[in-house]
Amino acid sequence: MITIADYERAELDLSLREMKRGWFIHAAVYAVVNIGLIILNLMLAAETDDDFLWFFFPLVCWGIGLTLHYLGVTRWGVRDLRRRQERIEREAEAADR
């Protein structure tokens, strides 16, 4: 028999694993796309008269978003999930009355 505390802990662990998986996918896409953009920009700079290196812009801006995603998962994720569980419990208690 599973207790409510066991269920809450299992749900928290599962949600955190899913959030971390989402971040790893985001990081992998970031790496692949930005490597491609760097190669493209360097090839264009070598083959044309345009020597402006623009790959820094998506690298930095997307990197900020990736960093915030990481912080959301590692720093704020548990807190937000616990708040969600507390809200669900309050709503269940209110509906029980």
Q: What pLDDT does residue 4 have?
A: 83
Q: Do residues 4 and 26 make contact, with C-beta atoms less than 8 angstroms apart? A: no
The range of the structural domain enclosing residue 52 comes to 4-96
Number of structural domains (the chain) is 1
**Ranges of residues in the chain whose predicted pLDDT is under 70:** none
pLDDT of residue 28: 98
Q: Is the pTM of this model over 0.85?
A: no
Token code pair at residue 76: 């704020």
Which tokens sit at 36? 């491609």
- Asked whether the CA dihedral 23, 18, 79, 81 is positive or negative, the reply is positive
Structure-token pair, residue 32 = 């692949």
Q: Give the whole-angstrom CA distance, residue 71 versus residue 23.
A: 10
